[in-house]
Structure 1
Amino acid sequence: MPKLDIEALANLLRDAAKAEILPRFRRLGDGDIRIKTEASDLVTEGDEAAERFIKARLDTVLPGALFVGEESVAHDPALLPKLAGADLALVIDPIDGTFNFASGIPLFAVMAAVVSKGETIAGLIYDPMGDDWVMAEKGGGAWQVRPDGHRTKLSVIAPAPLAEMYGMASTGYLPGGKRATVLGNMAKLRFLMNYRCAGHEYRTFASGHVHYLMYNKLMPWDHLPGTLISQEAGAYAARFDGSAYQPHHVDGGLVLTPDKETWELLRREVFTF
């Protein structure tokens, strides 16, 4: 495993947020927000400026690494396939929850994953509003870390019966028929939530507050950091077909639960199509 200074990477995310994201929060002008693919898929000046900030300082934390940022891939789609074969790569989501950020909702995050030879070896999710991180290195557990160095070990919630489960599911990218089936099956659960910010959903799950997460569209900047953190907190994670989620996957769905038995129960009773 490559030598990694995860604290330096964590501080880089924080520096980018303080320099380029927070000064723009609730201060974006009309020309600072643009639609990418649809009205709910936005990019702001904050996203692009924060990504430039991190990329410019990449060699200070991961010399020679391939840089795969959400906005960089938007400008050059040929960059994304390079991730699978990279010896070392940094995957960045400069603002996860851009819709919330652009709407003035204080629920967004800065996320990073370090990938080596097709394996995620580190994940970080920084909360600019709370000024702390959740982070994990492969094999080292998952932690909530404050800037003063205080660390709290994370652990997923205990399993629960189907009718008592609550969690998050992103159904917007499911095909119409599958979406209707899943939404109908959700009546078997206690609660369904959606923060429109995968970073905070993963933080909530890995911290032991909800029983499941479900996603269909799997862009690496959205899910690599949180999946590793969740697994290091004890979670079971697999794609809809039961296969392991890997950095090059962009489809096939993803379900995370406290254990394999809960995963199988949800796949059988709720995420059925």
Structure 2
Amino acid sequence: MALANILRDASRQESLPRFRRLDASMVQTKTEAIDLVTEADIATENVIKSRVAAWMPQALFVGEESMAADPALLPRLANADLAIVVDPIDGTANYAAGLPLFACMAAVVSGGQTVAGIIYDPMGDDWVMAEKGSGAWLRRPNGEAVRLHVAAPLPLAEMVGMASVAYMPRESRPTVLQNTDKVRLLSNFRCAGHEYRTLVSGHGQFLCYNKLMPWDHLAGVLIAQEAGAYAARLDGQPYLPSHVDGGLLVAMNRDAWDELRREVFVF
């Protein structure tokens, strides 16, 4: 909860006051038109970084914006004794467009394994979180806590899920898009944090991604696993903090994962 409150305080101090109040000078393009950074991303991460340094000075801090400024941070994550990985505003494109679908996320990594994860929703003012081996929980500032579980199994034709095809191999996209006709509904919120929240709250059956930056997925994968989901890279190997490629599929159980990998996400 100490880390959870740091995310909340930073969001309330920096990102919420700027929401729908950005002008063009406050938004920059990083690698392409759909990859943005705003003044709020940088300010929110700076507050989190400062608070984490005071609270846990021995931890390696790996923030999305810090890594953009110093790419050498990312390789250090795999061997860090203790690291805090942060996405100050997940869903920046939504945030910049004035859409209230963005999140603030953090994961705790120890010895190459994710041991805790938090996804804070600044608009709803609550967290989903997990510590390894302790289940997944929805927590509210008043102290209320609700245990989270993934949905019950469904046939492939009835599954609802979320996937981003934007970073899939170009030659594979037509096949994957055609294969999604086999499921009931495919969505993309452009915010991994809210996609993970949807899954662990029992309102979807799967997620699939190809680009794997740790601040986007470490927290969500641990929370999903603690809620009962099965997660692995597309080659079937476990997903680890050091991975930045290889694809990721998260499903309500192993049988669903196998079926989705065989029938839908073929690339």
> Into which bin does the TM-score normalised by the smaller protein fall?
over 0.9
Name the counterpart of 2:130.
136
* Corresponding position of 2:149: 155
Quote the Cα distance in structure 1 between the aligned partners of 2:261 and 2:23. 44
Q: 1:198 is matched with which residue? A: 192
1:233 aligned residue: 227
In structure 2, the residue matched to 1:270 is 264
CA–CA distance in 2 between the matches of 1:29 and 1:238? 40
Percent identical across equivalent pairs? 66
Is 2:116 the counterpart of 1:116?
no
1:54 aligns with 2:57: no
CA distance in 2 between partners of 1:61 and 1:138 (Å): 21
Quote the residue 1:28 is aligned against.
Answer: 22
1:16 to 3, 10, 33: 10
Aligned to 2:207: 213
Q: Name structure 2 gaps, 5 residues minimum.
A: none
C-alpha separation in 2, matches of 1:60 and 1:236: 36
Name the amino acid aligned to 1:136: A
Q: Report how far residue 61 of structure 1 moved.
A: 3.3
How far apart, in 2, do the equivalents of 1:116 and 1:167 lie? 30
Give the letter for the 2:64 counterpart. E
Is residue 2:243 matched to residue 1:260?
no
Deviations 1:52-72 (CA, angstroms, capped at 9, x unpaired): 001111134323100000001
**How many Å separate the matches in 1 of 2:39 and 2:253?**
40
Name structure 1 gaps, 5 residues minimum: 1-6
1:188 and 2:188 aligned: no
Q: Residue in 1 aligned with 2:100? A: 106
Q: Does residue 66 of structure 2 align to residue 68 of structure 1? A: no
Hey, what does 2:167 align to over in structure 1?
173
Counterpart amino acid of 1:89?
Answer: A
| Secondary structure of residue in 1 paired with 2:123 | coil
TM-score (norm 2): 0.99
Shift of 1:91: 0.1
Report runs of 4+ in structure 1 exceeding 3 Å deviation.
none
RMSD: 0.6
| Separation in structure 2 between the aligned mates of residue 158 and residue 180 of structure 1, nearest angstrom | 30
The range that moved more, 236-245 or 51-60, is: 51-60
